[in-house]
Structure 1
Amino acid sequence: MSIIYPLTHLSLALSEWVLISWAIRLWQQSTSLAMIVLPIVLVSISYDNLILSIGSLIGEGELLKTLSMLRFLLHYLVVPLFIVIGVELAHRAAASWVNKIVRVLSWVIALGLAAIDVATHYIGLELVPIEFAGILRYHVANLSGPPIITIVVNLFVLLIGIGIWFRLKWPWLFVGTLVSLIGNAMPSSAVGTLAGSFSELVMAISLLLTEERTQFFLVTQGGTLDFSQARN
């Protein structure tokens, strides 16, 4: 058990780089803004898994604590970007409610939530070492309650997933986001870090598959893969 958790986190970190290359390929096919933002999120998630996987090798001390501070900062900054990705996918699925104002507003909301998270959770952040199933990591001291902003972001994308499900007959964004919502709501102090990390991988895969679905949708609707005209 002591080696399974670190190796699994390392496998997740490497898998996320495969997903980054997948997202870049999809962007090259369509110039989808969602596929520009998603790699940014995946880099952060991959770093998170990497630090979790090697924490025991680094050992308790300032180095691991500093790397963990960066891990938390990246998390607070990039998780709200899932809102932008979800709105862009809805836009590409030709959802009538997604106009230019909504697309700009998604960035305003995402950046605003990131600023709130940094101001309320990162500034003055105190970390304490904790060990679970062979993983040594730094944990927020006196943490109380679930990650509210992460759950709010997941709920928002979940609603978009429902809309895409009805519009494109494609349930997988909803399913992937639901898995992420459940995984992030589970307390890491009780179940460890794998549940949340694995659920984020599942959500990222569902976003990539949904992008592929929207590309197919645009082809069938427009007859050609002309994204300069087909609501890109």
Structure 2
Amino acid sequence: MITHIAAWLLTLGLIIYQIISSTLSEVKNLIAIEEYGVLRYTAEGHAGPPFMVIIVGFVLLLIGGIVLAKQKWVWLFVGTILLFIGQGIPITIESTALTNVFELILMFSIWITTSQCLLSQRR
């Protein structure tokens, strides 16, 4: 029960922090950019991943480590590590799509981990 409450408080805290610290100012400074033939809007003068994304990544890494230690399921831990590596290494390809591949790997690793958890509960 305490972990559920802590997770909800962390989630709400990060959402409120992100809205106050970044989102309100970003919305005021949106500019249109055409990138690789696609129109998108981005906040002028803002760079790097949001603080909230970094914290969520570290929480996933911590949970992945706990799951690895207790259940010997490596997928969440490996998926999160690959996301950090993929986001941290500059890749010289004329597309940002490769970054999305690492996010897809993370989603797949979360899916595999939760599937293993559900299967083990049914046994």
Q: TM-score, normalised by structure 1?
A: 0.46
Deviations 1:121-175 (A, max 9, x none): 1113211122332332111100134332211211111111111112222111111
Comparing both structures, which one devotes a greater share of its residues to strand?
2
Q: Is the contact made by 1:117 and 1:149 (CA closer than 8 Å) also made in structure 2?
A: yes
Are positions 1:108 and 2:108 aligned together? no
Q: Is the contact made by 1:158 and 1:173 (CA closer than 8 Å) also made in structure 2?
A: yes
SS of equivalent residue, structure 1 residue 129? strand
SS of equivalent residue, structure 2 residue 25? coil
In the alignment of these two chains, the number of paired residues is 120
Tell me the distance in 2 between the aligned counterparts of 1:119 and 1:151: 17
Identity among equivalent positions (%) equals: 31
Structure 1: which amino acid aligns with 2:61? L
CA 1:217–1:173 in structure 2 vs 1: closer, same or farther (change >3 Å)? same
Structure 2: which amino acid aligns with 1:128? I
Structure 1: which amino acid aligns with 2:10? I
RCO comparison, higher one (Cα < 8 Å, 6+): 1
The aligned counterpart of 2:25 is: 124
The aligned counterpart of 2:80 is: 177
SS of equivalent residue, structure 1 residue 123? helix
Tell me the distance in 2 between the aligned counterparts of 1:154 and 1:182: 12
Could you tell me which runs of 5 or more consecutive residues in structure 1 were left unpaired when the two chains were aligned: 1-99, 221-232
Tell me the distance in 2 between the aligned counterparts of 1:160 and 1:109: 14
SS of equivalent residue, structure 1 residue 142? coil
Tell me the distance in 2 between the aligned counterparts of 1:192 and 1:109: 33
The aligned counterpart of 1:41 is: none
Are positions 1:164 and 2:67 aligned together? yes
Are positions 1:151 and 2:54 aligned together? yes
Cα distance, 1:210 vs. partner?
0.7
Could you tell me which runs of 5 or more consecutive residues in structure 2 were left unpaired when the two chains were aligned: none
Q: Is the contact made by 1:151 and 1:181 (CA closer than 8 Å) also made in structure 2?
A: no
Q: TM-score, normalised by structure 2?
A: 0.81
SS of equivalent residue, structure 1 residue 208? helix
* RMSD of Structure 2 on Structure 1 (CA): 2.4
Q: Is the contact made by 1:155 and 1:181 (CA closer than 8 Å) also made in structure 2?
A: no
Cα distance, 1:184 vs. partner?
4.1
